[in-house]
Amino acid sequence: MELSFRWEPPPSLWVKLNSDCSSLGNPGPDGAGCVLRNECGGVLFVIPQPIPHATTSNMAEFMALAFGLKVLTKFRHNSNILEMDSQLLHKTITGCVEDLHWTLAEILFHIRNSLAELSDVRIVWNYREMNKCADVLAGFASKMASSSTWFTTPHGQLTKWPTHGGCTA
């Protein structure tokens, strides 16, 4: 059996939200990255969000998903896949972990409220290699968080954006 470490688009009429974090130390300046794509691999939105005051990388992972879900709920899409590479986050959302530090429990509360607004949700864990777009965005955001001017200076555009092959409608 051969394992594939390539991002796969969601099924027809579904969207897929990938989320990730990047940390420049633990604790240190963190960044969240989220990307929502359709069945063709077309990008519907991206979020590179600096998190200058996360206390752990787990906190940044939870915050990344919370940021992505906040935007995803505005789309009101019926069929959604949430894909992440954090095992703790995945196990927590799917109910396998119940005893969390209060800071994570607070973010989880917001995540669950957002999930309640969505109709059909699949929650999937994946390998880090399959989460490259969200990882690139998170890395970009963590570098912005390490700068004292990230909130006043417009950031540059991402280059060499990872893409998925074409789609015929």
Domain residue spans of the chain:
15-40+55-145
- Give the bridge partners for 35, in sequence order: 18, 46
Does the 15-40+55-145 domain belong in CATH 3.30.420.10?
Answer: yes
The tokens 């897929």 sit on which residue? 16
Q: How much is the pLDDT for 96?
A: 87
pLDDT tens, position by position, 45-77: 999 999 877 888 899 999 999 999 999 999 888
Helices (H), the chain: 57-75, 87-93, 102-116, 132-145
Count CB-CB contacts under 10 A for residue 108.
18
Buried b / exposed e over 56-70, threshold 16 CB at 10 Å, is bbbbbbbbbbbbbbb
pTM (2 decimals)?
0.83
CB-based burial label for 150 (10 Å; 0-12, 13-18, 19+): middle
- Taking only the tens of pLDDT, the chain with its 169 residues reads 566 678 899 999 999 999 999 988 777 788 999 999 999 999 999 999 998 778 888 999 999 999 999 999 998 889 999 999 999 999 999 988 878 888 899 999 999 999 999 989 999 999 888 889 999 999 999 888 776 554 444 444 444 444 444 333 3
